[in-house]
Structure 1
């Protein structure tokens, strides 16, 4: 959901932050962000590790008229927090669950992501990619970023051969990451 959180922050001219970035902020920095739009990724990790700054930030946002989007793998009802006031506020927030895309959504997202990058993918290329790509928004965006870069280097349209090479490169990168971890 990182892609969607970044898109939301970008749409409103806001700030996207990870749990680690949020955890490193001092009180003055939190206050400076509170009047704007902030997307906090892995917010459940913030609540579990440092719940007091999250409560302070929530109160600052309410006072300054800002907006916050909390993104997590589970709903706030399942978050561990020792502060009853924070738990109450989290439980009163509207919650939306966004599932990973199915194949039809992947097809549509590939087309849209290509159009955003001023590219057009052939039906043959899309048919090749859909069953081979991870069913996640991040995987789609990563693939399209790399494909766009390769199109710029190669100076030609994003055909099936180039898409295949980019996808194989992503698979190799993932295997290296899994081997290193």
Structure 2
């Protein structure tokens, strides 16, 4: 790793050996995770576009709290009472999917029971609750009172830190000129970083070459 590349991001351990890097774009969401269980209500909603890191942060929350991941099938099969059993906290990813499956009533029941039991629910979504479109007024009014923390698109500094870290995880080094070249051409999301680093690593390994601008250019041209 080039010695002149230095960052001050706070790494947060998550599942799979990855680190979640705290930056201005995600600091508000991280603060709500850290405040658990001192939330004003039973639900906090993290809103971010696909690939911006909301799933990663949900895993950080799970690691810190022991929260149960609840999917649509879980709520259908076990209902609100079942998923709350022995739970300290819950995570509902892609919360709009529960409404798309007609689980409005069960979601309201889950909200009410969680409030009674003191269980907190972290929800993630691509849009804020006010835009989820449930026809159930009681559920809509409750969700609209939930704190919403938005994760913004990562800036250059955060993307660079992610790139450097993921190369380092693969025991690879990268120079500043390569980073600058990548940043000017890549999609600006966490998911894009993972995909790009994997493709570069595979090509460098196949060609037995160092990671240089010409090699990275080949990866972009192959997309």
* Alpha-carbon distance in structure 2 between the residues aligned to 1:146 and 1:55: 44
Q: Which residue of 2 aligns with 1:6?
A: 55
Structure 1 residue 102, shift from structure 2 partner: 3.0
Structure 1 residue 47, shift from structure 2 partner: 3.0
More strand by share: 2
Alignment deviations for residues 69-89 of structure 1 (CA, whole Å, 9 cap, x no partner): 322222112220122221122
Alignment deviations for residues 48-96 of structure 1 (CA, whole Å, 9 cap, x no partner): 5422233234345445655433222221122201222211221121111
Over 3 Å counting, the alpha-carbon distance change for 1:87 and 1:127 in structure 2 is same
- Alignment partner for residue 135 of structure 2, among 82, 85, 94? 82
- Alignment partner for residue 46 of structure 1, among 88, 95, 98? 98
* Alpha-carbon distance in structure 1 between the residues aligned to 2:90 and 2:209: 39
| TM-score under structure 1 length normalisation | 0.69
More helix by share: 1
* Alpha-carbon distance in structure 2 between the residues aligned to 1:62 and 1:16: 18
Confirm or deny: 8 A CA contact 1:40 1:71 kept in the other structure. yes
Confirm or deny: 8 A CA contact 2:55 2:93 kept in the other structure. no
Q: Which residue of 2 aligns with 1:27?
A: 77
* Alpha-carbon distance in structure 2 between the residues aligned to 1:60 and 1:153: 55
Structure 1 residue 132, shift from structure 2 partner: 0.6
Greater relative contact order (Cα 8 A, min sep 6): structure 1 or 2? Answer: 2
Aligned length: 165
Q: Which residue of 2 aligns with 1:179?
A: none
Over 3 Å counting, the alpha-carbon distance change for 1:137 and 1:24 in structure 2 is same
Over 3 Å counting, the alpha-carbon distance change for 1:57 and 1:161 in structure 2 is farther
| TM-score under structure 2 length normalisation | 0.58
Structure 2: tracts of 5 or more residues without a match: 1-48
Q: Which residue of 1 aligns with 2:33?
A: none
